[in-house]
């Protein structure tokens, strides 16, 4: 306990300042997202991220969303630890043979109504891994997909824009 307190006190601020200029458009996008979520889901959208065989490039960008610069929780989006708590599945990567059943089970374990979003070029159609003996295909080949966010990997901004798009289309 004392060790942890000492480390916390000794370590200064380690983050770097955000890039200039980007902030305004991000806020505008976020505000629209916030409004859309408020309108369609009451207050918040809970997301379960599923890695179906990704190279973890998309995960890095998704992880960036929770950082202090993007901070998606202020728009009413939350990442949750179980599909039982989720409204939305964010699936990355080509669906490998080993993960196909797990993805199906995750889909089944998510309560209705639910949105599935395939992230990245691999999620869209297995990308450069298409045709591999270890890959089933894109996310749509395994579970129904409502929206796709392309990119290799998509930037956090693109992810937010894609989420907005998907929510706008969801009934």
Partner 1 sequence: MAILAYAVAATGGLAAALLGLAGVLGTAFTVRAPWLLPLGGLEVTLDPLGGFFLALIGAAAVPASIYAMGYAAGERRGVLAYNVFVASMCAVPLAANVLTFLLAWELMSLASYVLVVQSGEREAVRAAWVYALMTHAGLACLLAGMLLLGSWTGSFRFTDWYAAASPLPSWGPGLAFVLLALGFGVKAGVIPLHVWLPLAHPAAPSHVSALMSGVMIKLGVYGLMRVGLDWLGGGPAWWGVAVMLAGTVSAVVGVLYALVEHDLKRLLAFHSIENVGIILIGLGAGMLFYEAGLPALALLGFAAALYHTMNHAAFKALLFLGAGAVLHAAGTRDMERMGGLIKRMPWTAACFMVGSAAIAALPPLNGFVSEWLTFQALLQNLKIDRPEVNLVFALGIAGLALTGGLAMACFVKAFGITFLALPRSEAAARAHEAGRAMRVGMGLLALACVVLGLAPTLVVPALAKIGADVMHVPAPADVGGWLTLNVSGEFASLSTLAVAAALVTALAVPAATLALAGIGRRRRLYETWGCGRLLQTSRMEYTATAFANPFKRVFDFFYRPVTQLDIEVHPESRLFVRRIEYANPTSSIFEDWLYRPALDALHRWARRARGLQSGSANLYLTYILAALLALLVLA
Sites of contact with partner 1 (CB under 8 A):
1-2, 82-84, 99, 101-103, 105-106, 108-109, 111-112
| Least distance in angstroms from the C-beta of 59 to partner 1 | 17
Report in angstroms how near the CB of residue 55 gets to partner 1 at its nearest: 20
C-beta closer to partner 1: residue 83 or 138: 83
Minimum CB separation of residue 131 from partner 1 in Å reads 25
Q: State the nearest-atom distance from the C-beta of 20 to partner 1, in Å.
A: 41
- Nearest CB to partner 1, comparing residues 70 and 107: 107
Backbone angles phi, psi at 152, to 5 degrees: -140, 80
Using H for helix, E for strand and C for coil, what is the string for 20-82?
CCHHHHHHHHHHHHHHHHHHHHCCCEEEEEEECCCCCHHHHHHHHHCCCCCCHHHHCEEECCC
Residue closest to 168 by CA, chosen among 30, 56, 23, 40:
40
Is the Cβ of residue 35 or residue 101 nearer to partner 1 in the bound state? 101
């Amino acid at each position: 306990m004392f060790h942890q307190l000492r480390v916390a006190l000794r370590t200064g601020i380690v983050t770097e300042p955000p890039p200039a200029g980007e902030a305004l458009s991000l806020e505008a996008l976020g505000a629209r997202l916030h409004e859309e979520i408020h309108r369609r889901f009451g207050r918040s959208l809970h997301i379960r991220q599923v890695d179906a065989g990704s190279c973890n490039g998309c995960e890095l960008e998704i992880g960036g969303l929770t950082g202090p610069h993007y901070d998606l929780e202020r728009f009413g989006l939350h990442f949750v630890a179980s599909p039982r708590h989720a409204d939305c599945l964010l699936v990355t990567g080509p669906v490998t043979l080993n993960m196909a059943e797990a993805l199906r089970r995750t889909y089944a374990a998510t309560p209705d109504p639910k949105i599935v979003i395939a992230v990245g070029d691999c999620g869209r159609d297995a990308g450069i891994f298409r045709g591999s003996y270890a890959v089933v295909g894109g996310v749509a080949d395994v579970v129904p997909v409502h929206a796709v966010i392309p990119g290799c990997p998509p930037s956090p901004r693109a992810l937010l824009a894609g989420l907005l798009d998907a929510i706008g289309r969801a009934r």
